[in-house]
Amino acid sequence: MSITKESDLQGMQKASEAVAQTLKKMTAYAQPGMTTKELDEYAAELLKEFGAKSAPHSTYKFPGWTCISVNNEFCHGVPSTKRKLQEGDLINIDVSAELDGFWADNGGSFVLGQDIHKHQKLVDASKEILLKTIQNIRGGVKIADIGYLMESEARKRGFKVIRNLAGHGIGRGLHEQPNELMNFRNKADHRRFKKNSVIAIETFISTTSSYATALKDGWTMVGNKGGFMAQHEHTIVVTDNAPLVLTAMNGIN
């Protein structure tokens, strides 16, 4: 999507507020002993208050309102009454939704309570890399160069990136062009970011794996070599200067 008029920007701001506030409140609401289904139902109420519709549920018939992944689950985790959160868990929540024809997406990983399993370094790396990446995105910048920045920053910190997960364009649909905004340099990709375009930019920073594979449920993804992954995501508008971060109120800063 390209922002061409004020009403486009206002629509994206409202949709982005819905997903950002939902993500922030879910993160604060999560506590040991709670099931991921309980956390997801809380999200459903929040989205309903905004008048927003869950994107994965409405688009892909995902069996939940949000994606909640725990520990070795990398992404697309299915909320469950059987999965209880525990102190020190590495949790990733991804919230995307549609509101009045506009779509927004954001996500974040965090450690629940005390960092007894030493996941915080990974979480911090993912967040720092996302923020540095965003500050380097401008109209005219090569998409592949941003991917190179993400992987380089991950390596500096002793981590890897997942090579089959990517950010994407967004706006009038959940996934739009430009697609495949990778966390590494794809030398065959000669595209450049376009001013006024809306994208969901996200990190996929891992400890040991380079690829994500789906479990038998057809949704939940884990690492091909195990380990853990942290993800952080903002919906942004590309400009000639620093991007406009539409989901800034989610607290990933």
Q: What is the pLDDT of residues 94-108, one digit of tens each?
A: 999 999 999 999 999
- Model pLDDT for residues 176-220, shown as the tens digit of each residue: 999 999 999 999 999 999 999 999 999 999 999 999 999 999 999
Quote the percentage of the chain above a pLDDT of 70: 100
Count of CB atoms within 10 A of residue 93's CB? 26
Report the amino acid identity of residue 180.
E
Supply the pLDDT for residue 246: 98
**Dihedral of alpha carbons 185, 188, 242, 123, sign:** negative
User: How high is the pLDDT of residue 20?
Assistant: 98
Reported as a single tens digit per residue, the pLDDT across 43-62 is: 999 999 999 999 999 999 99
| Per-residue pLDDT, 136 | 98
Could you tell me what percent of the chain has a pLDDT over 90?
Answer: 100
What is the full DSSP assignment across 30-92? --TT-BHHHHHHHHHHHHHHHT-EEHHHHHH--SSSSEEEETTEEE-PPP-SS-B--TT-EEE
Q: How far apart are CA 161 and CA 203, in angstroms?
A: 8
For every residue of 91-127, DSSP letters joined together read EEEEEEEEETTEEEEEEEEEE-SS-TT--HHHHHHHH
Cis peptide before 32 (omega within 30 of 0): no
Mean pLDDT of the chain: 98
What confidence tens digit (pLDDT) does each residue in 161-173 have?
999 999 999 999 9
Q: What is the pLDDT of residue 46?
A: 98
Confidence class of residue 245 from pLDDT cuts 50, 70 and 90? very high
Which helix (H) or strand (E) segment holds residue 178: the answer is strand 176-181
pLDDT at 166: 98
* Contact predicate 39/27, CB 8 Å: no
| Residue listed under structure tokens 């992404």 | 75
Q: What was the pLDDT predicted at 154?
A: 98
Could you tell me the pLDDT band of residue 14, with boundaries at 50, 70 and 90?
very high
- For the entire predicted model, the pTM comes to 0.97
pLDDT at 186: 95
What's the average model confidence in pLDDT over 64-73? 98
Can you give the pLDDT at residue 168? 98
* 28 pLDDT tier (thresholds 50, 70, 90): very high
Mean pLDDT throughout 234-249? 98
Under the banding of pLDDT at 50, 70 and 90, the label for residue 156 is: very high
